[in-house]
Amino acid sequence: MGRLTTHVLDTARGKPAAGVKIVLYRVSDAGRAQIGETVTNADGRSDAPMLQGTEFTTGYYELVFHAGDYLRATGQATGDVLFLDQIPIRFGVPDAGEHYHVPLLISPFAYSTYRGS
């Protein structure tokens, strides 16, 4: 059964990023539609897959990580305008029978992602 999972690691602090809001969208020619939302736990992960089973289909998705709120809460960023605030990661799912893990590594001035396992 295919599924989509994610987690967030704070590379500046060297620990999981707890309390990060993540919103999941399905993307199509008509735009994007929100289909899920979660907040990371103490291990920087969602408690359940973001999407799985018959709801997880071939196509394009976007995860939006609300990193700015987390960076403010941890004292790593201040002010109304941050260099990184909401971080969108758009990706394709060519085979909905597989496991797609899309982690985010963040700091106040940089981020990276990859297809994990």
pLDDT over 90, % of the chain: 98
Summarize pLDDT for 100-116 with one digit per residue, the tens.
999 999 999 999 999 99
Rounded distance between C-alpha atoms, residue 15 and residue 90, angstroms: 25
- Return the residue matching tokens 């060297």: 14
Say how many C-beta atoms besides its own lie within 10 A of residue 101's C-beta: 14
Query: What is the DSSP pairing of strand 86-93 with strand 15-16?
Result: unpaired
The pLDDT value given to residue 1: 82
Q: Is the pLDDT of residue 117 over 90?
A: no
The pLDDT value given to residue 89: 98
Once rounded to an integer, what is the mean pLDDT over residues 58-74?
97
Phi and psi at 7, nearest 5°, equal -155, 165
Rounded distance between C-alpha atoms, residue 109 and residue 77, angstroms: 10
Structural domains of the chain in order of their starting residue, each with its CATH number: 3-108 (2.60.40.180)
Once rounded to an integer, what is the mean pLDDT over residues 53-82?
96
Rounded distance between C-alpha atoms, residue 43 and residue 37, angstroms: 17
